[in-house]
Amino acid sequence: MENNLGKCFKLLRESKGLSQKEIAGEVISIAQLSRFERGVSNINADTLYQCLENMNVSIAEFQCVCRNYLQNQTLLFQDEVAKAYIEKNTLTLKHYLVKCQQLEASSPHQKFYKLNTIIVKAVLQQCDKKEKVAKKDVQFLVDYLFSVEEWGRYELWLFTYSASLMTSNLVETFACEMINRTQFYQEIPENRRLVNQMLFNVINVCIERSRFSLAFKLLNYADNLKKDETDLFIRNAIKYCRGYYLFKTGNLSGLQTMEKCAEIMMFLECHSIAQQMLDRISELKQETSHMQKELTHL
């Protein structure tokens, strides 16, 4: 590993046409940097970070080079589960479930394999109501989330795709914890993306359960969350949630907002997401029609 890190560092430095002297500066001696690049010795993390800053190379870029430009397998797995969830691709989810269960069986003391298995089950349940997650698995997941004082990407991912399994009180507890950490999650772009996805999922869960006060609080939080103008998806998703909230609280104009958001997704060729929105809109229209018929009969 030490040898690989040094070689990757040298590759990046030379690709930028920078000398060892330019990178070392006052951070490290040229001799030490040379030994590191040759794999003779290692350098501490602080020194590595400062040298990377001197090269204008991020930690993520450096890690990518060290992995031979291959995506981190954990992130790839999380992205594939998220994609399967959007597309309601149960075959892909069942494939990942088998793989997760095999890993869990081979390393029963590795809690992360078990947690991954639970999340895939949770997503499967959301795509196919016949699939169920055992109460003991939900409790294992909740206990883990409570045990972690500082949530990172992994914990955000767990909560995002497991909120539908939890009681409303637990959802509120964890969601409010996210709100209290605005600064941390806003300043890390990748975490901010996950928070946006979490908000979209959790707001929908709250509205479905008629927890309107929490849904309103999260909608306001989402509106104030730092968003670039290029964040088109999340802007549209939150607008959709706002329309859903309005409709469920008695303002029928919310349905028009939802329809506009679905149209935008169709225009952008986000067909799976658009279909989910249209399915929900169709359900709401049927509910309204049914209620109107009942009122007519009274």
| Amino acid letter for position 250 | G
State mean pLDDT over 222-241: 81
**% of the chain surpassing 90 pLDDT:** 52
How would residue 226 be classed by pLDDT, with cut points 50, 70 and 90?
low
- Length in residues, the chain: 298
Chain segment 136-193, per-residue pLDDT in tens: 999 999 999 999 887 878 888 999 999 999 999 999 999 888 777 655 565 666 677 7
For residue 260, pLDDT over 90 is answered with yes
For residue 212, pLDDT over 80 is answered with yes
For residue 208, pLDDT over 80 is answered with yes
129-133, 180-184, 225-229, 265-269 — most confident range = 265-269
| Amino acid letter for position 274 | A
pLDDT of residue 114: 95
Q: What DSSP character marks residue 165?
A: G
Chain segment 236-253, per-residue pLDDT in tens: 999 999 999 999 999 999
**% of the chain surpassing 70 pLDDT:** 90
Distance of alpha carbon 129 from the chain centroid: 23
| Amino acid letter for position 298 | L
Asked whether the beta carbons of 223 and 231 are under 8 A apart, the reply is no
Region of residue 68 (phi > 0: left; psi between -120 and 50: alpha; otherwise: beta): left
For residue 96, pLDDT over 80 is answered with yes
* Residues with Cβ within 8 Å of residue 30, at least 6 apart in sequence: 20, 21, 24
The first and second tokens of residue 59, run together, are: 């930690």
Among 47-61, 101-115, 187-201, 242-256, the minimum mean pLDDT is found in 187-201
pLDDT of residue 225: 72
How would residue 219 be classed by pLDDT, with cut points 50, 70 and 90?
very high
Q: Higher confidence at residue 217 or residue 60?
A: 217
With vertex at residue 278, the alpha carbon angle to CA 274 and CA 283, rounded to the nearest 5 degrees, is 150
Among 76-85, 117-126, 136-145, 209-218, the minimum mean pLDDT is found in 76-85
Distance, in Å, from the CA atom of 54 to the CA atom of 25, rounded to the nearest integer, reads 8
For residue 2, pLDDT over 50 is answered with no
Region of residue 70 (phi > 0: left; psi between -120 and 50: alpha; otherwise: beta): beta
